[in-house]
Structure 1
Amino acid sequence: MADNTTYNHISYFFLVGIPGLESVHCWIGIPVCLLFVLTLLGNSIIIATVKVEPCLHQPMYFFLCMLAMNDMCLASSTAPKMLDILWFDAHWIEFGACLTQLFFIHTLCIMESALLVTMAYDRYVAICTPLHYATILTTSMVTKLGLVGLSRAVLMVLPCPLLIKRLPYYTKYVIHHTYCEHMAVVKLASAKTLINRAYGISVALSVMSVDLVLIAMSYVKILQAVFRLSSQNARSKALGTCVSHVCTILISYTPALFSFLTHRIGKKVPPSVHIIFASVYLLVPPAVNPVVYGVKTKQIRERVVGLFFNTINFLKGKTLS
């Protein structure tokens, strides 16, 4: 890059990728690409299946479609640049583009958490007040819950790039990461960043703590309702409707919590390990979520299996002809 400064303010950042593993970047790019393709393919199938199957036109599956769309956007905001770095050594990213990526990544992560809360609420209403399910979770209510989650995410993350833009960046421009993460960008500023750090930490802690508490409260109520059922079969059926959601929660929050803790208190954790987990947090859940729901949802599973066999028969017909 010939010129990295504009009026004593850097105009580009340099994304290193995974420090210490530069020699195997090309190999690391293979699973990143596979996860990205699986995310786009799997979530597209989920959305298409819910759209064409009238029996899936229910709040639970509308929330699932929102989650699928959010996952595709999240993967699309990170994977292409990661592959540029890992495969083509395209490490430079323009200052404004970096802040844009930062905004979308953190907004979509908070939106993901909000959707997991609304899906927990959906299961709570379905199991604890089944007779009022249709009147409580109307299409209008589902839309409002989605908009509230999106509005919260945007309003909480928007100050981050705005606060960063007011900071001077004179000499440091190397980001030891695969994408523009808030704290990684803030650390490069040539000024005191207490406000940025405090705001970033407060947003992360408030989102995780509030959302996890709400999810936990929903499942406490669900378990209380389930154990009041007299039939073992009814208990199993009720809990079975929650399995997919619980798996999604574990897949989403486990690497997120590890990444958050190691970034702030895990001083002895190698940077490469932290960055790998931070990348896993953004790439694995979007790819795995459609698999979880596809396996646990009969209509989705049958649709995918049918599509698979139709494709094979089509290819066989083309070969024979």
Structure 2
Amino acid sequence: MSETTTSAEPQIHISVLLAEVLAALAVRDGGVYVDGTFGAGGYTRAILEAADCQVIGIDRDPAAIQRAEPLLARFPGRLRIIEGRFGDMAELLAAHGIGPVDGVALDIGVSSPQIDDPARGFSFRFDGPLDMRMSLSGPTAADVVNDYAEADIANILWRLGEERLSRRVARAVVAARATARIETTAQLADIIRSVVPRSKKDGIDPATRSFQALRLHVNDELGELDRGLAGAERVLAPGGHLAVVSFHSLEDRRVKDFLRQRSGSEGAPSRHMPAAHSGPAPTFRLLGRSGVTPSEPELRHNPRARSARLRAAERTDAPAWPMGEAA
């Protein structure tokens, strides 16, 4: 979920495009569904309330696993929580003896509880340790800004944050850390703001793009998304539905390209002719081509939804493509 508010008050978690995700999944009695990004449990709760079905929730964040306790008590025998990465869903489900499933929901990015906890270091809205790790293990964002070479920092900010002043920011970071180690979100945000002017067009905080880039890098979020999409292809039963909500163009582009490849819709010479397809048989049928965005009422109720886009597809009966295969 994108950084879209400036208030220091924590926000109540509201699942984005909830009704649209439920419709895309076509939730039914007796179905088995995977919520690959459990987070605060919004999608899981809605799925379990919509039908007499089962849900497997996956999350790499230990705090999210703890938050599942009330739902586990409310839906005994219908909910299973697995700690792990959604990119490993095929292996995780196999290890628990769970066969093909009827739906997979993915809400890509950082969750509201993660953003709103200063101790997690995801947000520049309040000061906290410069951490940003979803799994609470591995190198932190502080390790990146203090230990990486200037050129590597600039590359991360440009590639993952689309920060056009990435070299200037990297230079400022290296200069600042020569005096004292950069340990907090406020320190880093102030460094970025000192060299990146606030946009008059959109008013976005100058630190937004750099914080996004560091978070994506620390958690390998784009790699995780690629693995998660391929994993969903492997675990979905024929006729099963995939619903993916993303919040940034980098993520949405990956989802769109994956589904176009896997549906055989890439490469059509015109809308009047069938797609020119070679290679493995299509494993998905697109459920809409342009994606679904939040309605005006939802945006008024939940400003954090403003950049969200839902893409959905139905699994065919074709075998999953070999790992790394492209159309």
The TM tier, using the shorter chain, reads under 0.3
**Greater fraction of residues in strand:** 2
TM-score of the pair, normalised by structure 1: 0.25
TM-score of the pair, normalised by structure 2: 0.24
- Max radius of gyration: which structure? 1
**Greater fraction of residues in helix:** 1
